[in-house]
């Protein structure tokens, strides 16, 4: 390829539309701290997602920290090893101990059958990730949480617009956290949102994201600065108008890959459950032992041709030096997660990806095989 193709390229609305919003911000002089764009985006986003209680934040990492703080989680938290480091980092920032439990080989999410064995008297919560926007085993996780009186905080960084059985996945568990980072299917440059189950939890999060201020002179908790600025909120508000278009384009890219790569020996795709309305946030392939080329060679070979795939999520979090002390406590010692991390390659997927570019990616993979 002459032009590099990256794993993603942010969708941007027409510049003139955004300039119009900037003009308003320039006119008002309100740049942050819950301005008119913040409030308008928060309300429109809730409507778009089909949820009630949304708190915008500056990014999902802070969002996860705020969610854990708001629910007063302190102790051991069961989470997945197969995720971006931010999931586990949020636990360390809140003085929690991550307990890594292996994933299911099909969903790539926390294996619900292995959760109970990891529960101890110190367990306070479960922090699952809807990895690649593929919903977790939500019913089983909730049943375990109810039986053991645990809270469930979903890292829904990838799950914008995803539905399970016709309902937003963001309504499940105690709290869900979305990411609107530039690399996500819905972006506000940087940003995110916390979905609360009730107005009381939202109010607490809204205070915590503003340093814990209750009034000008009263600070109720050691909150943080987690606010979304007006330029990001204005971007989010515009992006909502294009969210359906973005999803449709992604779906088309997903379908073209599945068709183009069909029949290659040793390659596997992500399978969505029949109950899932997917958002096509990522297109991971898994290069198995029976493939004629290994994952890293394929990655390097594509890179030489200006195609930049990513190994999300390699290495698994507990294999990072700083997490080695939190060794796996149960089951098969994370062998599924480690195996998948060794096989995964996320292919470029974004609305602007041209058919010719995608066909070149497919042709290069076929040639490598």
Binding residues (CB under 6 A) for ligand T4K: these are: 6-10, 59-61, 83-84, 86-87, 129, 155, 157-158, 179, 181-183, 192, 308, 310, 312
Region of 186 please: left (phi>0), alpha (psi -120 to 50) or beta: beta
| Contact indicator for 37, 233 with CB cutoff of 8 Å | yes
Other Cβ atoms within 10 Å of 4 Cβ, number = 11
Cβ of residue 201: shortest distance to ligand T4K, in angstroms?
Answer: 20
> Closer to ligand T4K at the Cβ: 59 or 142?
59
Cβ of residue 183: shortest distance to ligand T4K, in angstroms?
Answer: 5
> Closer to ligand T4K at the Cβ: 282 or 291?
282
Cβ of residue 347: shortest distance to ligand T4K, in angstroms?
Answer: 12
Cβ of residue 307: shortest distance to ligand T4K, in angstroms?
Answer: 11
Owner of token pair 């989680």: 73
Cβ of residue 155: shortest distance to ligand T4K, in angstroms?
Answer: 5
| Contact indicator for 70, 201 with CB cutoff of 8 Å | yes
> Closer to ligand T4K at the Cβ: 132 or 291?
132
Cβ of residue 38: shortest distance to ligand T4K, in angstroms?
Answer: 17
Two structure tokens written together for 29: 């002089």
> Closer to ligand T4K at the Cβ: 84 or 286?
84
Tabulate helix, strand, coil % of the chain (nearest 5).
Answer: 40, 15, 45
Cβ of residue 62: shortest distance to ligand T4K, in angstroms?
Answer: 7
| Contact indicator for 163, 277 with CB cutoff of 8 Å | yes
Cβ of residue 173: shortest distance to ligand T4K, in angstroms?
Answer: 15
CA 313, CA 6: separation in Å to the nearest integer? 16
In the chain, the largest separation of any two C-alpha atoms, in whole Å, equals 66
Cβ of residue 215: shortest distance to ligand T4K, in angstroms?
Answer: 29
> Closer to ligand T4K at the Cβ: 179 or 276?
179
| Contact indicator for 135, 276 with CB cutoff of 8 Å | yes
CA 188, CA 261: separation in Å to the nearest integer? 32
- What residues have CB less than 8 Å from 277, skipping those under 6 apart? 161, 162, 163, 164, 166
CA 192, CA 48: separation in Å to the nearest integer? 15
Cβ of residue 84: shortest distance to ligand T4K, in angstroms?
Answer: 3
> Closer to ligand T4K at the Cβ: 144 or 353?
353
Owner of token pair 């390229």: 9
CA 73, CA 116: separation in Å to the nearest integer? 18
> Closer to ligand T4K at the Cβ: 182 or 293?
182
> Closer to ligand T4K at the Cβ: 136 or 291?
136
Among the listed residues 244, 242, 250, the one whose alpha carbon sits nearest the alpha carbon of residue 348: 250
| Contact indicator for 75, 96 with CB cutoff of 8 Å | yes
Write out the DSSP string of 10-62. Answer: -----HHHHHHHHHHHHHH---SSS-HHHHHHHHHHHHHHT-SEEEEES-HHH
């Amino acid at each position: 390829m002459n032009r590099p193709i990256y794993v993603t390229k942010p969708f941007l609305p027409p510049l003139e539309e955004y300039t119009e919003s900037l003009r308003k911000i320039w006119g008002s002089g309100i740049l942050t701290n819950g301005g008119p764009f913040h409030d308008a985006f928060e309300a429109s986003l809730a409507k778009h997602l089909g949820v009630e209680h949304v708190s915008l934040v500056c990014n999902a990492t802070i969002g996860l920290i705020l969610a854990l703080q708001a629910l007063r989680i302190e102790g051991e938290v069961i989470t997945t090893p197969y995720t971006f480091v931010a999931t586990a980092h949020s636990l360390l920032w809140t003085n929690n101990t991550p307990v890594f439990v292996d994933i299911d080989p099909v969903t790539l999410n926390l294996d619900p059958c292995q959760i109970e064995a990891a529960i101890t008297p110190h367990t306070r919560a479960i922090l699952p990730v809807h990895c690649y926007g593929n919903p977790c085993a939500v019913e089983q996780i909730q049943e375990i949480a109810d039986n053991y009186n645990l809270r469930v905080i979903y890292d829904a960084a990838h799950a914008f617009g995803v539905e399970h059985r016709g309902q937003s996945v963001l309504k499940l568990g105690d709290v869900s956290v979305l990411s609107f980072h530039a690399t996500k299917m819905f972006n506000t440059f940087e940003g995110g949102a916390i979905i609360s189950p009730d107005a009381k939890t939202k109010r607490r999060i809204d205070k915590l994201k503003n340093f814990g201020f209750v009034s000008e002179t009263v600070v109720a908790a050691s909150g943080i600065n987690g606010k979304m600025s007006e330029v990001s909120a204005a971007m989010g508000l515009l992006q909502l108008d294009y969210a359906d278009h973005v999803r449709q384009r992604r779906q088309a890219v997903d379908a073209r890959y599945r068709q183009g790569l069909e029949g290659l020996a040793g390659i596997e795709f992500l399978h969505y459950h029949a109950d899932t309305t997917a958002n096509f946030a990522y297109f991971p392939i898994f290069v198995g032992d029976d493939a004629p080329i290994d994952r890293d060679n394929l990655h390097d070979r594509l890179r030489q041709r200006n195609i930049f795939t990513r190994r999300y999520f390699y290495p698994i979090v507990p294999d990072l030096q700083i997490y080695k002390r939190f060794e796996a406590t149960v089951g098969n010692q994370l062998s599924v997660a480690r195996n998948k991390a060794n096989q995964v390659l996320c292919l470029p997927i974004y609305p602007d990806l041209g058919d010719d570019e995608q066909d070149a990616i497919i042709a290069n993979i076929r040639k490598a095989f």
